[in-house]
Amino acid sequence: MGGLDDLRARWARFADARQRAPSYTLFTHALPGFPLPRRAPLSDPPPVVAILTPCKNAMRELPGYAALIRALDYPKDRLHWTLLEGDSTDATRDAANAMLAEARGYAGTRLIRLDLGLDHATGCTGNRTRADIQRARRAGIARCRNRLLEAGMKTGAEYLLFVDVDMAAIPPDALCRALEWRAPILAANCLTHDGARIFDRNSFLYTAPVSDRSARRYVTGGLYQPPTGFFRHYPDPEGPEEIAPLSCVGGTFLLIRRDVIAAGADFPETPYQLHIETEGFALKAADLGFGSFMAPRLVVRHGPN
C-alpha cells in the first residue's frame, strides 16, 4: 500500500473506531466466541484423514508437493489422498495421475477433473490480487473446494485436510500437531517462502464487527475487501503456546472436522456475510456453532508463486 493509501486507511480506521452509533445491517454476523480447544494425545489408531488439494497448471509444483505429503509423519493407511485438477494448459493432469499411481500404502487415492471454463486462478486475465476480480476468482476456487469436500466426505474420513499444491515447507509432524487440538476448524500459520512475513492473510480475528460505514467504503463486487489489518488481527507465528481464535480462515493448510461439514458448512460460492470461499466458510460454520482456530507455532511456508 502506498503512502497516500496508507494515510487514508489510517484515517478510515480512526473515523470508524469513533463512530457514536454504528449500524450493522450489511454484516450481521455476531462474531461469536467459542471455548478454546485443549490439546490431548492422539488416539490409537489415529483418525482417518482425507488430504484434499485443488490444482491447476501445477506440473512444476507437483514433485515438491508430493514430497511434502509423503514426508508427513502419519500412517499412510489412515490417509486418503485426493487431488482436483481443472482447466490446466500444461501436463498437470498426467503428472498428477502418475504421482498418485506411484503412491503406495494409502487408504485411497483419487484424481478428480473439474473444468470450470475460466481462469479460476485469477478470475480473469490480469493481476490476481485486483479487488474487482475476487468474486469471480474465489467463486471458482470455492466450487473446486466444495467438490473436494464431497469426495472427502465419501471416504468416511474423520477429518478433511486442505493443502495447497504450491507449498514450500510443511513440518512432518504438522498433521499430528493439528489433530491433537481436536478443533472443529484449525489453520496453520502460513508464511511466505522465506519466512519473512505472513502469506495467508485470510486467517484472522476481527477485532470489531464490520460496520455499514466500513462495508460501504470497502465492498467491491459484494465482497468486503479492506486494507490489510483493518480491524483484523493476524496471530503471531512466534507467539505464545496458546491456541488462537479466528473469525475467518485461509486454505493453505486447513484441517476440518467431519461434523462441521455434516452440519451444512461449505465454501460459499456467492457472498456470505460479505465474504466468500474460505472466509465465508468460517463465518458460516460459526453460525452453525463451530469455531475456527489457529494452532500455536504451527508454521508452514508457501511457495514463491
DSSP secondary structure letters along 231-287: TEE---TTS-SS-EEESB--SSEEEEEHHHHHTT----SS-BTTB-HHHHHHHHHHH
Residue 146 pLDDT exceeds 90: yes
Show the domain range for 182.
41-302
Residue 61 pLDDT exceeds 50: yes
DSSP secondary structure letters along 131-192: GGGHHHHHHHHHHHHHHHHHHHHHTT-SEEEEE-TTEEE--TTHHHHHHTT--SEEEEEEEP
> Which pLDDT does position 241 carry in this prediction?
84
Give whole-number Cα distances, 182 to 137, 175, 197, in Å.
31, 11, 27
Q: In this structure, is residue 13 part of a structural domain?
A: no
Q: For the residues 187-202, what does the mean pLDDT come to?
A: 97
Q: For the residues 211-223, what does the mean pLDDT come to?
A: 95
- Give the separation between CA 55 and CA 71, rounded to whole angstroms: 20
Q: In this structure, is residue 202 part of a structural domain?
A: yes
Residue 169 pLDDT exceeds 60: yes
* Residue 13 binned pLDDT confidence (cut-offs 50, 70, 90): low
- More confident call, 173 vs 2: 173
> Which pLDDT does position 233 carry in this prediction?
96
What is the crossing angle of helices 62-70 and 92-102, to 10°? 20
> Which pLDDT does position 12 carry in this prediction?
64
Q: In this structure, is residue 3 part of a structural domain?
A: no
The total of structural domains in the chain comes to 1
Q: For the residues 36-46, what does the mean pLDDT come to?
A: 97
> Which pLDDT does position 4 carry in this prediction?
65
Residues of the chain above pLDDT 90, percent:
87
Q: What is the CATH number of the domain that holds 175?
A: 3.90.550.10
Supply 214's cell numbers. 466500513
- More confident call, 10 vs 26: 26
Q: In this structure, is residue 215 part of a structural domain?
A: yes
- Cell numbers 508452514: residue: 300
Residue 58 pLDDT exceeds 70: yes
- More confident call, 143 vs 126: 143
> Which pLDDT does position 129 carry in this prediction?
84
**For residue 288, what is the enclosing H or E element?**
none
> Which pLDDT does position 126 carry in this prediction?
54
DSSP secondary structure letters along 114-134: ---SS-TTTSSSS-TT-GGGH
Q: How many residues can be counted in the chain?
A: 305
> Which pLDDT does position 124 carry in this prediction?
47
Q: In this structure, is residue 19 part of a structural domain?
A: no
> Which pLDDT does position 120 carry in this prediction?
47
Residue 206 pLDDT exceeds 90: yes
Q: In this structure, is residue 11 part of a structural domain?
A: no
Average pLDDT taken over every residue of the chain: 93
pLDDT tens-digit readout, 223-250:
999 999 999 999 999 988 899 999 999 9
Q: For the residues 249-253, what does the mean pLDDT come to?
A: 98
pLDDT tens-digit readout, 98-136:
999 999 999 999 999 999 986 644 444 557 789 999 999
- Residue 52's closest CA among 97, 7, 85, 29? 85
Q: In this structure, is residue 220 part of a structural domain?
A: yes
Supply 298's cell numbers. 504451527
Per mean pLDDT, which range of 11-25, 76-90, 132-146, 207-221 is the poorest?
11-25
Q: In this structure, is residue 1 part of a structural domain?
A: no
Q: How many Å from the N-terminal Cα to the C-terminal Cα in the chain?
A: 20
